[in-house]
Chains A and B, each alone.
Chain A
Amino acid sequence: MSHLLPPSILRLVLPVFYAVVIVAVLPLLAGYIVLVERKVMADMQARLGPMRVGPHGLLQPIADAVKLLLKEDIIPDKADRLLFWLAPLVSVTMALLAYAALPIGPAFQIADLNIGLLFILAVSSLGIYGIVLGGWASNSHYSLLGALRSAAQLVSYETAAGLGLISALLLAGSLSMKDIVIAQYDQGIWFIFYVPIGFFIYMVGSIAETNRAPFDLPEAESELVAGYMTEYSGFRWSLYFLAEYANMIIVAGIATTLFLGGWLRPFASSHTALPGTSIELLDALPSLLVLGVALYCFYLAPKQPVKIQKMVMAMAGGLCLIIAGVLAGALFASPAVLQGIHGAFWFLAKVFTYIYFFLWFRFTFPRYRFDQLMRLGWRFLIPLALVNLIATATALLATREWGGSLLLYTLLADAVTLAVAIFLAKNDEVDSAVPVMDGE
């Protein structure tokens, strides 16, 4: 492409192109994450999940989307019409805007801001207005309580999650998402190995920020019906839904970039070539993986009971085969293309692994109560994050002053932090044994 267009035009065209791709693909992706969620849930709960629309329910998201679009659009009589209309838009816009700074591959990024991380955090924290205003505008007690819970929860856990992120930022020394990944390449190690506790804190914080179980109090079905979106239906509701899943991908993307090496493949700094060629051994991994999935689809296709299901399953296999072909073809293309395509593959693979954990937690844990949630945030996560931060900073300083392996020092720092964590948890147990009854 760089031959066809002058660089100045390319600088304008490429980001727009990426933006259009992201906005177009994201709803589909969110829909399929929902399908995966339902399938994973079904598997953990000894049942099958959606099976009717397409083979193994593969077309379910499309059916759901059509249903939502065709639903009646209801605005409650006493609702604040302007804000009721505005709130879901705010939610979804902010969620999509955050993608601007997310590097999906070395080149596949709409804008490489030098405050990239802060930008994503800021914009995704604005999504709270969608929830709060929507909850208030609905003029319903359930919605209002959901909105209040959401606001309090987000403000609390953002602090903890942010402090967790800073431990990785210290190691990277930059706020630009791209530079953070490059720092991990240069140091030859993903930051999760330096600051596992920072990763853990961010993970818990990010689950709470995206209102996922066990922190899904703002939309706790058994208590608040559907929380802030109780009064929403049809397309407006689906905008909230889209925002929630878009936010999940965002937090997974942040975690991937900061802790899991972003678009880098495992052992990115080791370059062992296949004998006789210039292709690196590990670069062949993605295409082989996808090829395996494709073969499995073809193996399953004849076993489907209905003809159309056989066809769709074979088509899914064909799609995987094409992806595998592209991945394999990239091996022989120029290094930039190779990095772009394989970078996107690894990035998405890590993002989905992270999201899988979200799903897993959701089906395993009961829900926290509000006061417990707050106690966990303020009295466990935030102190722990502070200790972790200081310990990591000390380890960095020690390496700089005395030399030696950073990994060794961070291990020491982690041990200290872990001890503090155990102390905090024990302390918490003593506290919670006394029933909390303030006031009156």
Chain B
Amino acid sequence: MGLNSILFYFFAALAVGSAILMVTRRNVVHGAVYLITTLLATAGVFLLRQAEFLFITQVILYVGGIMVLFVFVIMLVNLDVSLLQYQFNRQRFVAGVLALALAAQLFIVIKMGKTSLFPQARVPEVLPKNTEAVADALFGRFMLPFEIASILLLVAMIGAVVMAKRRV
């Protein structure tokens, strides 16, 4: 187990641990903080695989952008009330089935990829520059899906603005 594996398991444990804490905390702001930790730990895994651009996108967009808005909204909510509210809806049966399915998936994946449990540093020292590679892919091969996704986001954004503008 090299340094790479140690770091990988460290980040993985951090991600899973904070994810669990996120859903179990009663205080929403604490939950948000754990979610941020999870996202950062995942970003750490990306970096470990030398996917720098993915890493930085994760940090800038999810941690630096979306989560700031999350926290922003959460802070406006009256927390004292939300602390007292019942946090679970009665869907234990559905949840149980889903959890089982997920566990089965995980089991199969782990069983299939036993060898990759301890990843070695197989990546070459110098990769082609991530940023250019991603740009080439996005604006070359995947131009159409990329633009469709953009239009979808634009529609969502305009929709949000229209809904927010309509005063009741």
Contact B131 A115 (CB under 8 A): yes
In the complex, whether A284 has a CB less than 8 A from a CB of chain B is no
What is the number of contacts between chain A and chain B, taking CB atoms within 8 Å?
68
B54 CB to closest chain A CB (Å) equals 10
In the complex, whether A259 has a CB less than 8 A from a CB of chain B is no
Contact B29 A133 (CB under 8 A): yes
- Residues of A in contact with B, size category: 20 to 34
With A118-B56, A121-B60, A144-B75 already in contact, the answer to whether A155 and B29 are too (CB < 8 A) is no
In the complex, whether A152 has a CB less than 8 A from a CB of chain B is yes
Contact B130 A115 (CB under 8 A): yes
In the complex, whether A316 has a CB less than 8 A from a CB of chain B is no
- Of the stretches B11-19, B65-73, B91-99, B103-111, the one at the interface is B65-73
Contact B71 A133 (CB under 8 A): yes
In the complex, whether A126 has a CB less than 8 A from a CB of chain B is yes
A132 contact from B60, B63, B75, Cβ within 8 A:
B75
In the complex, whether A12 has a CB less than 8 A from a CB of chain B is no
Q: Which residue of B lies closest to A119 (CB)?
A: B56
Q: Is the interface of A mostly helix, strand, loop or mixed?
A: helix
With A83-B33, A122-B64 already in contact, the answer to whether A148 and B53 are too (CB < 8 A) is no
Contact A175 B29 (CB under 8 A): no
Q: Which residue of B lies closest to A135 (CB)?
A: B75
Contact A125 B64 (CB under 8 A): yes
A84 CB to closest chain B CB (Å) equals 12
With A114-B130, A155-B65, A175-B131 already in contact, the answer to whether A132 and B71 are too (CB < 8 A) is yes
| CA–CA, A151 and B75, complex, Å | 11
B29 contact from A83, A128, A151, A439, Cβ within 8 A:
A83
What are the residues of chain A within 8 A of B33 when measuring CB–CB? 83, 86, 133
| CA–CA, A121 and B60, complex, Å | 8
A96 CB to closest chain B CB (Å) equals 16
What are the residues of chain B within 8 A of A129 when measuring CB–CB? 36, 68, 71
Q: Is the interface of B mostly helix, strand, loop or mixed?
A: helix
| CA–CA, A324 and B142, complex, Å | 57
Interface string of B21-32 (1 = CB under 8 A from A): 000000101100
B80 CB to closest chain A CB (Å) equals 11
Interface string of A107-119 (1 = CB under 8 A from B): 0000001110011
Q: Which residue of A lies closest to B65 (CB)?
A: A155
Number of interface residues of B (CB under 8 A): 24
What are the residues of chain B within 8 A of A68 when measuring CB–CB? none
Contact A122 B60 (CB under 8 A): yes
What are the residues of chain A within 8 A of B63 when measuring CB–CB? 122, 126
| CA–CA, A145 and B18, complex, Å | 28
In the complex, whether A136 has a CB less than 8 A from a CB of chain B is yes
A280 CB to closest chain B CB (Å) equals 33
What are the residues of chain A within 8 A of B72 when measuring CB–CB? 132, 148, 151-152
What are the residues of chain A within 8 A of B64 when measuring CB–CB? 122, 125-126, 128, 158
In the complex, whether A154 has a CB less than 8 A from a CB of chain B is yes
With A82-B30, A439-B167 already in contact, the answer to whether A118 and B75 are too (CB < 8 A) is no
Contact B130 A122 (CB under 8 A): no
Interface string of B116-153 (1 = CB under 8 A from A): 00000000000001110000000000000000000000
Q: Which residue of A lies closest to B75 (CB)?
A: A136
| CA–CA, A120 and B66, complex, Å | 18
In the complex, whether A250 has a CB less than 8 A from a CB of chain B is no
Q: Which residue of A lies closest to B58 (CB)?
A: A122
A90 CB to closest chain B CB (Å) equals 9
What are the residues of chain A within 8 A of B29 when measuring CB–CB? 80, 83, 133, 136
Contact A123 B68 (CB under 8 A): no
Q: Which residue of A lies closest to B27 (CB)?
A: A80
In the complex, whether B48 has a CB less than 8 A from a CB of chain A is no
With A82-B30, A114-B52, A115-B131 already in contact, the answer to whether A122 and B71 are too (CB < 8 A) is no
Q: Which residue of B lies closest to A147 (CB)?
A: B75
B52 CB to closest chain A CB (Å) equals 5
What are the residues of chain B within 8 A of A125 when measuring CB–CB? 60, 64-65
With A129-B36, A133-B29 already in contact, the answer to whether A148 and B65 are too (CB < 8 A) is no
Q: Which residue of B lies closest to A125 (CB)?
A: B64
User: Among the interface residues B30, B53, B60, which one has the most CB atoms of the partner chain A within 10 A?
Assistant: B60
In the assembled complex, 25 residue pairs joining A and B whose CB atoms fall closer than 8 Å, in A order, are: A80-B29, A82-B30, A114-B52, A114-B129, A115-B55, A115-B131, A118-B53, A118-B60, A125-B65, A126-B59, A129-B36, A129-B68, A129-B71, A132-B68, A132-B71, A132-B75, A133-B29, A133-B33, A133-B71, A135-B75, A147-B75, A148-B72, A151-B68, A154-B68, A175-B131
Seen from chain B, the residues whose Cβ lies within 8 Å of a Cβ on chain A are: 27, 29-30, 33, 36, 52-53, 55-56, 59-60, 63-65, 68-69, 71-72, 75-76, 129-131, 167
Q: A115-B55, A158-B64 are in contact. List 9 more A-B contacts (CB 8 A).
A: A83-B33, A113-B52, A114-B52, A115-B53, A115-B56, A122-B63, A125-B65, A129-B68, A148-B76
